[in-house]
Amino acid sequence: MLALTLLLTTIPVQETMAQETVVAGLSRAAIEINTNFNGSEILIFGAVGRVSPPPEGAPLHVIITVEGPDQPVTVRRKERRFGIWMNIDAVEVDAAPTFYAVATTGPLNEVLTQTEDLRLQISVPRAIRAVGVNVGDTDNFTDALIRIRGDSDLYQMNEGSVTLRDATLFDTSFRLPANLVEGDYRTRIFLTRNGEVVGSFSHDIAVRKVGLERFIYNLAHDRPLLYGILSLVIAIVAGWLASAVFRYIRP
């Protein structure tokens, strides 16, 4: 009996899901970090595909998220000890995205219900998981993480920055800062009605160091001793060259 009710309730949801689907495109499939990398902009656009006319009633909303690779981080808090401000308490955050941006067509609390947010981990606080509890006020630490990363544009909340035309065509752009971490950046697009997600789409953008940056980074981590020696030799040669050139110009 229970199984039957579950079955009955799931069918209509699946039907609505199938009614409106996302057809999306990205302005670029990959982002390359090279020597003069200074941040990047990605344009995300798409259309809502339908087999029948849009349902009446609640308007359609679009939420787009871009999420960088997760990393465990330690958030530390300074306190005054012996007259000096030093790190005392720390909270380990098991997984925090190195970059996270949300763009919506309207205020997030109107276009998405709390339950859906919890289920799909859409808003910034939901995307962070802090498990290790060393102190009582863990929330202050995760808030600080969001605040600090928000200040350097690593966490962005762009409410109302998605334009939706005729409930069909949508587009938005994200500004990626210069200090990006390498990895696959998951882009998710959600269609919502009445705060419920009715359609979704997901795609990865690869962010990679290329050229000289790639070479130096790999060398430093794969052959650290060789890299260290090479750094010294290059530094010595560069210093010698600079002084030779200078003496040549101004005898």
Partner 1 sequence: MQVYLPIAEVSVNAFLLLGLGGLVGILSGMFGVGGGFLMTPLLFFIGIPPAVAVATEAAQIVASSFSGVLAHLKRKTVDLRMGTVLLVGGLIGAAAGVQVFALLTKLGQVDLLVRLCYVVFLGLIGGLMFFESLRAIRRARRAGHTPVAKRRQRGWIDALPFKMRFRTSGLYISVIPPLLVGLFVGVLAAIMGVGGGFIMVPAMIYLLGMPTKVVVGTSLFQIIFVTGFSTLMHATTNFTVDMVLAVLLLVGGVVGAQIGTRIGVRMKAEQLRILLAIMVLIVCGRLAMDLLLEPAELYSIGFAGAGH
Which parts of this chain interact with partner 1 (CB under 8 A)? 33-39, 71-80, 83-87, 90, 92, 140-141, 144-145, 147-149, 178-179, 181, 209, 212-213, 216-217, 220-221, 224-225, 227-232, 234-236, 238-240, 242-243, 246-247, 250
b (16+ CB within 10 A) / e for 136-166: eebeebbeebbeebeeebbbbeebebbebee
Q: Residue 92 burial (CB < 10 Å; 0-12/13-18/19+)?
A: middle
76 or 126, CB closer to partner 1? 76
Look at residues 212, 230, 216 and name the one whose alpha carbon lies nearest to residue 36: 212
Least spacing, CB of residue 36 vs partner 1, in Å: 6
**Minimum gap (Å) between residue 42 Cβ and partner 1:** 17
Please, what is the minimum distance in Å from the beta carbon of residue 98 to partner 1?
10
Pick the closer one to partner 1 by CB: 18 or 242: 242
DSSP 92-145: EEEEEES-EEEEESS-HHHHS-HHHHHHHT-SHHHH-EE---SSS-HHHHHHHH
User: Minimum CB separation from partner 1 for residue 231, in Å?
Assistant: 5
Give the nearer residue to partner 1 in terms of CB position, either 18 or 148. Answer: 148
Cβ at position 3, least distance to partner 1 in Å: 44
User: With respect to partner 1, which residue has the nearer C-beta, 1 or 82?
Assistant: 82
Cβ proximity to partner 1: between 10 and 87 the closer is 87
**In whole angstroms, how large is the CA radius of gyration of the chain?**
24
86: Cα within 13 Å, side-chain hemisphere: 5
Alpha-carbon distance of 122 to 159, in angstroms, equals 13
